Chains A and B, each alone.
Chain A
Amino acid sequence: MAFPPKLIYYLRMIGRHMIAHINGKTETVIQEVSVEKLLSMKNIDPACVVVEVNKNIVKREKYGSVILNDGDTVEILKFVGGG
């Protein structure tokens, strides 16, 4: 979701949303979102990706229990063709 900066400020003040840096882009996400929920919101099959939060690899079985914090950096990667 891309909100104007002022709206992001107010949303963060209300406490419902926070910032996360996901695959190099800064996004606003709902607070207390788990990795599992984030993948589901982005329509990503958890079995096809690997996830890193703040440079720490998140094991697949922990997707439901790892909760993002404000300002977290998330990398979601998949296998693509390569030589």
Chain B
Amino acid sequence: MDDFLEIGGKKLRSRLITGSGKYSDERIIADVVAAAQCDVVTVALRRVDFEHHGESVLQYVPKGKILLPNTSGARTAGEAVRLARLAREMGCGNWVKIEVIEDQKYLLPDNIETLKATETLAKDGFVVLPYVSPDLPLARKLVTAGAAAVMPLGAPIGSNRGLRTLELIEILVDEIELPVIVDAGIGRPSHAAHAMEIGAAGVLLNTAIASSNDPVKMAHAFRLAVEAGRLAFLAGLGSVSKTGRASSPLTGFLNE
């Protein structure tokens, strides 16, 4: 079925983007990505620890995947821009997830700084996926700024709380022409399916898989959930009623 997610000139078969963080043994990442069958994997950029210098996480990301470096650690647009340019210099592509967070309690993104960084990086030729709190006026500005998608959070990063911002996400889906990818807070495959059912273009999640007892099995579950939700959206959900509506004819009963 030709139902690709088109971003940055690429046609993605999978609408599930997975993170590579929070794994104590990174060797599992290869199996997780294989089970998720995702096309895009997020990574972060950090200083090399010369005392405990392990392997690069890249060696556990299967070949052929699109790398989506995030700008985690950035507290301002300037820091995000700096991190994005460093990430691009690695030579793995020009996609970037803008993540600008000053708030260390809820890890909620700074929408204003994210918009500024989007403007600069889009002009600099990046494929920009900004991570934001859902906000329609801001999202419209992100479109104008040249973002390739809009990534509203469902709930705080790592919280597994689901789509707490559901109605705001629905507004974005209705009003924004760019792909709306729900990023952060998704904790269960049913959350991911729900996001897809309401018309999100995709979902991005990390903790829900990494914090599971069996991340590979969970990744498989998320793959199925995202596919199911998308199929449901394309099929068209039935109408909702306050009263009951019988499934079989109301005549011809045995006891009439």
Chain A residues near B (Cβ < 8 Å): 23-24, 42-45, 48-50, 52, 55, 57, 59-60, 75-83
Contact = CB atoms under 8 A, between A and B. Distances in A.
A79 B22 contact: no
B213 interface: no
| Size category, B interface | 35 or more
A72 B249 CA distance: 82
Contacts of B204: 83
B20 A82 contact: yes
A76 B56 contact: no
Given A81-B29, A83-B70, A50 B90 contact: yes
A78 B58 CA distance: 9
Contacts of A50: 45, 86-87, 89-90
A15 B205 CA distance: 53
B206 to A, nearest CB: 3
A70 to B, nearest CB: 21
Given A23-B48, A44-B53, A75-B47, A82 B70 contact: yes
A81 B48 contact: no
7 contacts: A45-B56, A57-B85, A57-B86, A79-B58, A80-B21, A82-B19, A83-B44
